[in-house]
Amino acid sequence: MAAGPTAPAVETDLKQVHRSVIRGRVKTIFVCESCGNESPKWEGRCPSCRAWNTLVEFRPGRRERRAGSRAPASEVPAQELSQVSVGHLPRLRLSSTEVNRVLGGGIVPGSVVVIAGDPGIGKSTLLLRIAADIAETAGQTLYVSGEESMAQVKMRAERLGIPGRRLVLLQTTALDDVMNHLERSRPVMVVVDSIQAVYDDSLASTAGSVAQIRECTRTLTEWAKVQNVPVILTGHVTKGGEIAGPKALEHMVDVVLYLEGDPISSWRLLRAMKNRFGSTNEVGVFEMAENGLVEVADPSSAFLAERRDGAVGSTVVPVLEGSRPMLVEVQALTSPSILPVPRRIATGIDINRLLLVCAVLTRRAGMSLANHDVVVNVTGGLKITEPAADLGVALAIVSSLRDAPVAPHLAAVGEVGLSGEVRRVPQIQRRVAEVARLGMRQCLVPAMGDQAREERLEGLVSTPVGTLGQAVAVSIPRNGRRPPVDSRAIPT
């Protein structure tokens, strides 16, 4: 019994002696591959995220020395807040107004930007465009490609019509190569595609692990701040969500942009998730075309381009993307079900919202959906996350059920509550203004307190509705006869 525990203890001691002799007492830390937590000693279970076997050894060796080799930090005197001048943040502007908008006006020198998104969504395409812009307007730009060969990048550049003047390509996955290159040259901007592909060989874990992503980002961020040169990284969002994805570095960088869209549709949204130099409410809209991402200046018109006014089961909803109102088309199809439990299929909206709307229509508006399958789709592969689309979804379903189109040139917005009431949504004015701009004639809006009267705005009537039943009565005739557009005539 006694020999058992002592033997490993001696072995550990020897190991430690061995380690410090070989490494000249270089401090070793252990980093969790799952959450990035640092521990002074190895443990079977991470003390922070409680995951097993995720700690890997990390020796902050060469990189620390490299960081130490930079010029000593200057003495920065403390200053009273009232004396601090904001000055003017210089920014590197891009040719794309949509990207500039999302970035808050351009790229701030010394900032670190992450462009995250699903594989194949268009991150490399966007990054190459940005790099080429900066190379054209500001000076030499370094494009580090860790995933594709030089030839592949060149082929993409040809497709995008980028000649590539002053755009320097470096194909490597070793962070050392990147840092060595940066020691010899000082570009005006560096882009790394992708952060998951590069690795720091002083770290024992594999490329793409949280420990690697964090360490590589830390090194690049440090360089960016010291040199006052911006760095843009791309990062894949992993299927399961966060592990080893861009989430692991959100807190370390200045700006996180997400490029989103349905791979089968061509629309792409660029959204600011975090921005230390601008608003996070900005959204840029693009279309993936033959020659790269083309900006969509008027998303509402583009999203409604294929809509037929008077189509059965179709409504227009003014949704908000960030602070930007956009009109999207919601379609619904109901058909008699042969199944004991009829099906509900939602594409582009949350299935739970659809179930809620169906339940409220059945119980509060007298629609018999119990024997019908219901399919709802937001056209163009767009996704609506706000409940403000509830009313539009409900009207599309009723329109299909009654086989009658909603009133022409009508849009509807409002959240549907469980008692059948139409609830308020944020920023109603902006939404209504967008509906008016697109030349529609009527917009159903939630009735707000006593302000339940119709308002006119540039040829648009906004009609307050208090309940789902009222909304249906106003917009979908039961027998082909459309009720007048006047709230006094709305049955209550």
- Report in angstroms how near the CB of residue 118 gets to ligand TYD at its nearest: 7
Per CB under 5 A, does 124 bind Mg ion? yes
Per CB under 6 A, does 228 bind ligand TYD? no
Per CB under 6 A, does 125 bind ligand TYD? yes
Which of residues 117 and 405 has its CB atom nearest to ligand TYD in the complex?
Answer: 117
Residue type, 207: A
Per CB under 6 A, does 124 bind ligand TYD? yes
Q: Which range of residues in 117-125, 390-398, 403-411, 450-458 is near Mg ion by CB under 5 A? A: 117-125
- Report in angstroms how near the CB of residue 429 gets to ligand TYD at its nearest: 36
Sites for ligand TYD among residues 282-301 (CB under 6 A): 288, 290-292
Which of residues 208 and 414 has its CB atom nearest to Mg ion in the complex?
Answer: 208
Residues 47, 119, 139, 439: which binds ligand TYD (CB under 6 A)? Answer: 119
343 binds, among ligand TYD, Mg ion, none (CB under 5 to 8 A by kind): none
120 binds, among ligand TYD, Mg ion, none (CB under 5 to 8 A by kind): ligand TYD
122 binds, among ligand TYD, Mg ion, none (CB under 5 to 8 A by kind): ligand TYD
Q: Which range of residues in 152-160, 217-225, 275-283, 402-410 is near ligand TYD by CB under 6 A? A: 152-160
117 binds, among ligand TYD, Mg ion, none (CB under 5 to 8 A by kind): ligand TYD
Which of residues 138 and 160 has its CB atom nearest to ligand TYD in the complex?
Answer: 160
392 binds, among ligand TYD, Mg ion, none (CB under 5 to 8 A by kind): none
What does the H/E/C string look like for the chain?
CCHHHHHHHHHHHHHHHHHHHHHCCCCCEEEECCCCCEECCCCCECCCCCCECCEEEECCCHHHHHHHCCCCCCCCCCCCHHHCCCCCCCCECCCCHHHHHHHCCCECCCCEEEEEECCCCCHHHHHHHHHHHHHHHCCCEEEEECCCCHHHHHHHHHHHCCCCCCEEEEECCEHHHHHHHHHHCCCCEEEEECCCCCECCCECCCCCCHHHHHHHHHHHHHHHHHHCCCEEEEEECECCECCCCHHHHHHHCCEEEEEECCCCCCEEEEEEEEECCCCCCCEEEEEEECCEEEECCCHHHHHHCCCCCCCCCEEEEEEEECCEEEEEEEEEEEEECCCCCCCEEEECCCHHHHHHHHHHHHHHCCCCCCCEEEEEEEHHHCCCCCHHHHHHHHHHHHHHHHCCCCCCCEEECCEECCCCEEECCCCHHHHHHHHHHCCCCEEEEECECCECCCEEECCEEEEEECEHHHHHHHHCCCCCCCCCCCHHHCCC
Size of the site for ligand TYD (CB under 6 A): 15
49 binds, among ligand TYD, Mg ion, none (CB under 5 to 8 A by kind): none
Residue type, 204: A
Size of the site for Mg ion (CB under 5 A): 1
- Report in angstroms how near the CB of residue 489 gets to ligand TYD at its nearest: 51
Which of residues 93 and 154 has its CB atom nearest to ligand TYD in the complex?
Answer: 154
Site string for ligand TYD, 158-187 (x = CB under 6 A): -xx---------------------------
Per CB under 6 A, does 120 bind ligand TYD? yes
Task: Catalog residues that contact ligand TYD under the rule CB under 6 A.
Answer: 117, 119-125, 156, 159-160, 288, 290-292
Task: Catalog residues that contact Mg ion under the rule CB under 5 A.
Answer: 124
